[in-house]
Structures are given as C-alpha cells and as structure tokens.
Amino acid sequence: MAPERPLPKEPERLARILQIGVDIDCTIFNLVPSSKLAAEKRFGIKIEDERVSDYWFLEEILKGAGIPEKERRLFYQDIYRSSENAGVYLDSPPMPGAIEVLRKLHQQGHEIFVLTSRSAEVLPVVEQQFVAQGINWVGGLWPEGNIIIRNEDYWPKKGPVMVDQVFKLHAIRGDFPYGRYQNFPGLDYHLDDQAGLLGHDLSLGVKERIIILSWSYNREIVPETNLVENWWAFERLIQDLARVEKLSLELPNVAQS
Ligand SMILES: [Mg+2]
C-alpha cells in the first residue's frame, strides 16, 4: 500500500471549489436489500442473500423463478417509477461512508449535484430520503436546487428518450442539447456505479472526470485510475484533485516571481 500523503496544515485554504456530481442508486443509497424485499413480497418467493450480491442479479433471479417478462416489467415500473410505491427507495440504506463524506464535501464548500434517472414523479421522495439522513441541502430542480433529474424533457411520453448514460454524460460535459438543463455548466467530477459511462462515445475527453464506485459488476472492467473502493477513497481523491488543481493554477505565478 502506498504511504499516506501528509495533509497540509490548512487543507481548506489550499482547496479549490469543485462541482461534484453523484449518482443516487447504488452509489449513495443501496437499492439491493429493498429491491430484494419488494420482489419477495410481490412474488411470494424467498431469495437467498448470497444470490443478491448486487442490483443486477434481480432480473436473473426473477427469470429463474419463472416470473414472466410482462410481470417483471410491471414490477420494476411499480417499485422504481411510481411515487405511490416509493418504499423501495425510502428503505434503501446509505452506502458505507456516503452520508458522512457528502456532508464533509458540502461543508468544505464543494458544490454537490445529485444526478438521477429516477422519474420526476419521485422527486419529493428523493428529497425526503436525504432529509431522513440529516441532509437538508439537496432539493428542487436546477437552477433552484441541486437535483439533476431526467425529467419529462428527456423522458417524453412521445418521442425519443435520452438514455441514462447520455443524460449523465451531457451533465458532466455541460452540453445538454435541449431541455431544462441546457444551461447547466458541467461537472468537475462525477461518481457513479455504472461502468458503461466510460465506454460511451460522449465520454471522450471527459473520462478522467468519471469516477466509478467499486461493485462486483464493474470492478473488473473499469481502469484503476477511474475506480474507487469506497466513499472514503472518493473523498481522498477529491481532496487531492482540489489541491492539485489549485497548485497547478498557482505554479506560473511562482515561476514569475
Ligand atoms: Mg446507479
């Protein structure tokens, strides 16, 4: 293990303010246990804990249990896209360190944006979920607040849907071609659990801004430089990046004097 870098005496004086994006599901809150419970209740089945190591196994398990595709789709629609069945979100526990680190980064003055492809219908649930964790500074729709939600502009009833990865990459790049977030300036860094963000064409030129939180389904395919083991590692990375950027900004002045 590399030795810890000594911290400067006044780290806050060295830090640059960063615009930080964070995905919600399976990044801030763990959807796995609540989704498992919802599936067991709905279909009257028992799912062994070791079979649900992550969120993506649910589809395999339900298929294996003989649940027809139509019923599986209705189930996902009910638990993930309807405000009436928001229990699956409200019962998701935070990922280890997530709340503590978010709070710290916010206190240090970094701007935190919460990015999600949940439906706009569940927006109040999103806010409620953070308040339940003692975080009352996440809310609204940008520019009034800092929840960047893939709302009806990008998920229209008719017409093409902007898929999740494209939506997030436009947020990172700050180049939404249309819709509510057209003037969003972009993000310095974004934390997500989806490795697919790095594989998309729109990630060209912004790959170093995309940080992936390690899960069994992404750690084999994400380059080491883009992967963090947990939220505390993300915090250290942000502290380092804020310092490095500040120092590199100051270097030319130092050379001139
Ligand atoms: Mg996610």
Q: Are residues 119 and 234 in the same domain?
A: yes
Question: CB of 22 within 8 A of CB of 188?
Answer: no
Strands (E), 69-209: 111-116, 147-149, 189-192
Last residue of a domain, which of 51, 72, 90? 90
Span from the CA of 195 to the centroid of ligand 1 (angstroms): 10
Cβ contacts of 28 within 8 Å, gap of 6 or more: 22, 94, 95, 98, 99, 102, 114
Ligand 1 centroid, distance to 27 Cα (angstroms): 6
Question: Considering the chain, what percentage of its residues have pLDDT values greater than 70?
Answer: 86
- Rg of the chain over Cα atoms, rounded to whole angstroms, equals 20
pTM for the complete prediction? Answer: 0.85
- Per-residue pLDDT for 124 more than 60? yes
Number of domains composing the chain:
2
Confidence of residue 119 (pLDDT cuts 50, 70, 90): confident
49/132 same-domain check: no
Residues 211 and 140 in one domain: yes
What single DSSP character describes residue 242?
H
pLDDT at 257: 45
Which tokens in the block code for residue 130?
């953070």
Domain assignment present for 5: no
Domain contains 2: no
Q: Which residue has the tokens 């911290």?
A: 7
73 and 179 inside one domain = no
| Percent of the chain's residues with pLDDT above 90 | 53
Cα 151 to averaged position of ligand 1 atoms, centre (Å): 16
User: Which has more pLDDT, 139 or 7?
Assistant: 139
What distance in angstroms lies between residue 192's CA and the mean position of ligand 1's atoms? 6
Examine the pLDDT at 180 and tell me if it is beyond 80.
Answer: yes
Residue 155 CB coordination number (10 Å): 19
Q: How far is the CA of 54 from the centre of ligand 1 (A)?
A: 11
Distance between Cα 95 and ligand 1 center (Å): 12
Identify the domain boundary among 43, 64, 90: 90
Question: What contacts 143, CB < 8 A, 6 or more positions away?
Answer: 183
Find the 4 Cα to ligand 1 centroid distance in Å.
30
Q: How far is the CA of 21 from the centre of ligand 1 (A)?
A: 12
**pLDDT score recorded for residue 175:** 96
Work out the average pLDDT over 62-90: 86
157 and 72 in a common domain: no
Task: Among 50, 65, 90, give the residue marking a domain's end.
Answer: 90
Domain shared by 76 and 99, yes or no: no
Does some domain include residue 172? yes
Give the position of tokens 């069994």: 216
68 prior amide bond cis, ω within 30 = no
Calculated CA dihedral for residues 156, 161, 162, 164, nearest 10 degrees? 100
Q: How far is the CA of 148 from the centre of ligand 1 (A)?
A: 14
pLDDT (average), residues 145-164 = 86
Residues 106, 83 share a domain: no
- Both tokens of 30, joined, read 């763990």
Are residue 204 and residue 234 in the same domain, yes or no?
Answer: yes
Average pLDDT score over residue span 189-205: 96
Residue 143 lies in domain: 13-30+93-256
More confident residue, 214 or 242: 214
* Domain shared by 133 and 229, yes or no: yes
Q: How many CB atoms lie within 10 A of CB 67?
A: 17
pLDDT of residue 254: 52
152 with 47, same domain?
A: no
Residue 144 has pLDDT above 70, yes or no: no
In the reported structure, the alpha carbon of residue 210 is separated from the centroid of ligand 1 by a whole-number distance in angstroms of 13
**What is the pLDDT, as a whole number, of residue 161?**
86
Distance 144 CA to ligand 1 centre (A): 23
For residue 248, the model assigns a pLDDT of 67
**Tokens representing residue 181 in the block:** 């977030």
Identify the burial level of 214 via C-beta atoms within 10 angstroms of its C-beta, where 0-12 means exposed, 13-18 middle and 19 or more buried. Answer: middle
Considering the domain architecture, whether residues 241 and 204 belong to the same structural domain is answered as: yes
Q: Is residue 22 scored above 80 in pLDDT? A: yes
Q: Are residues 169 and 98 in the same domain?
A: yes
CA separation for the pair 100, 107 (Å, rounded): 11
